Structure 1
Amino acid sequence: MSPVRVAIIADSPQVRASLQALVEASPALRLAASAADAGMLADSLAGSAPDVIVIDVEPGASEAPKAGFDIEHVPSALVMLTDEADSEWILDALPGDAAAILPRNALPGEIVASIEAVAAGLYVLSPEILGRLLGARTPPRQTASGAPFETLTSREIEVLTMLAEGLGNKEIARQLDISDNTVKFHLAAIFGKLGATNRTEAVMLGMRHGFIMV
């Protein structure tokens, strides 16, 4: 198999050099380009398309760098290194086909494995980030039967209410002005917190626990 062509975006020269060295040291990977931002990356690539783009998102960033998404034929495969994965703008920035979200202090082996995974069309989330995305750190409430469940955020209640109205993912995304990908993450969190296995069950449990009214 041909090596996975990797492009890197990192504002910090130190981080950029570290990621470059990591890619260059792996026989399964090949460095396509490396730059401080998306515009410089596009110039470096000169119209060619990497297989995977790795982005280092520094703390306090208000929006994700559009890592060459304007470059023609760039595949939707992204590895994002961030310590603020529960920010909704990060969910909106994820491509629909394949992505990885890792903490910025992820081990070299974890980063390499994630690059290879997204190149194969998979999603990769660290246990810590998965827990944050699904609201696993929210204190549980008690149901009438005594079984614990986790409270929903205001946005999750909005999504659940629209679910009860029979809206599909695309309509929910349009009304809330968020991406389809973000809707999927919210639904996964709702199902996990309520213990639901499908949309109908989530609505029924939401009504039972008073999250939505009819």
Structure 2
Amino acid sequence: MNAHSGPTRLPDRLVTVLVVDDEELTRTGLRALLSAKPDLEVVGEAADGAEVLPMVERLRPDVVLMDVRMPDVDGIEATRRLRSVLPDPPKVIVITTFENDEHVYDALRAGASGFIRKRAPSQQIAHAIRLVAGGDSVLFPDAVRRLAAGRPVRRDAATGAAALLTGREIEVLRLMAKGRSNQEAATQLRVSLETVKTHVGNVLTKLSATNRTQAVVIAYEAGLVGSGTNDQ
């Protein structure tokens, strides 16, 4: 798991979480695990994606821990609704049983800040929540590359992205896809940290991406980052 904004900016206040999963046992387990952390508070639970938007509007959680597969409205559509309706939506972390679930990729494309396995250690889940609450993304570069493999390159996206981004911005985007932090990218490119931050900001703006993870997914779609094992 990688954070992507230099040093982690941990929140200096209680982080509120909405847990969304169609299985009651999973919701109960996640609530118990997270409630044991003094800086995290589970403010609500939802059993279906259809409940997410009204609950978010009422409870205003910082982070939504969202199951990707649900029988009525899934986590992908629920994430889209949050992004399209709310001016300042909460961060979304997708939780999944299998990290090679193709639905995870679609959720990241919809604007989720990252994903994590349901069976991950509680410390890892809590750390991911703190990261996204502080403005970072949670990305597993190898897993995202595997999810992108076999998906056709969208030529319209490729043409548009290539026209928008400068050569250096594409370099930075490729390093983001490899899980490099801003500082690591600055070292590799031999530029200042502030320069890399500027490039990252430009990339997000030009690709209309809500976060680094979504920008990486768009890069795969446009063929700016290869999904083959050699693009490491």
- TM-score normalised by length of structure 1: 0.61
- Secondary structure (helix, strand or coil) at the match of 1:21 reads helix
Q: Give the counterpart letter for 1:110 in structure 2.
A: Q
Note the C-alpha offset of 1:168. Answer: 3.4
Out of 136, 139, 162, the position equivalent to 2:158 is 162
In structure 2, distance between residues paired with 1:31 and 1:62: 21
Of 132, 136, 140, the residue aligned with 1:118 is 132
**Which of 66, 88, 98 is the equivalent residue of 2:78?**
66
- Return closer, same or farther for 1:165/1:17 CA change in 2, 3 Å cut-off: closer
Do structure 1's residue 131 and structure 2's residue 142 form an aligned pair? yes
Measure the CA separation in 2 of the matches of 1:27 and 1:161. Answer: 44
CA distance in 2, matches of 1:164, 1:40: 36
1:104 to 1:189, Cα distance in 2 relative to 1, 3 A: farther
Distance 1:165 1:72 in 2: 26
71 and 135 in structure 1: CA distance in 2 versus 1, 3 angstrom threshold: closer
- The answer as to 2:226 corresponding to 1:190 is yes
Deviation track 1:159-192 (CA, whole Å, cap 9, x = no partner) reads 599349944379999xxxxx86631344564287
* Equivalent position of 1:104 in the other structure: 118
Q: SS of the counterpart of 2:76? A: coil
Give aligned-pair identity as a percent. 18
TM superposition shift of 1:45:
5.1
Match of 1:93 in 2: 110
Residue 135 of structure 1, CA deviation = 3.4
1:54–1:78 Cα contact (<8 Å) kept: yes
Whether the 8 Å contact between 2:21 and 2:67 is mirrored in structure 1 is: yes
Larger strand fraction of residues: 1
Structure 2 unaligned segments of length 5 or more: list them.
1-11, 166-204, 209-213
Q: Larger RCO: Structure 1 or Structure 2 (Cα < 8 Å, ≥ 6 residues apart)?
A: 2
Report the Cα distance in structure 2 between the residues aligned to 1:59 and 1:38, rounded to whole angstroms. Answer: 7
Which one has a bigger Cα radius of gyration? 1
- What is the rounded CA distance, in whole Å, between the counterparts of 1:48 and 1:63 in structure 2? 18
**CA positional deviation for 1:62:** 6.8
- Structure 1's unaligned 5+ residue stretches are 139-151, 174-178, 197-214
CA separation of 1:180 and 1:14: change in aligned 2, threshold 3 A: same
SS at match of 1:109: helix
Amino acid at match of 1:9: V
Once residues 25 and 171 of structure 1 are traced to their aligned partners in structure 2, the CA distance between those partners, rounded to angstroms, is 41
State the superposition RMSD in angstroms.
3.9
Distance 1:180 1:71, change over 3 A: same
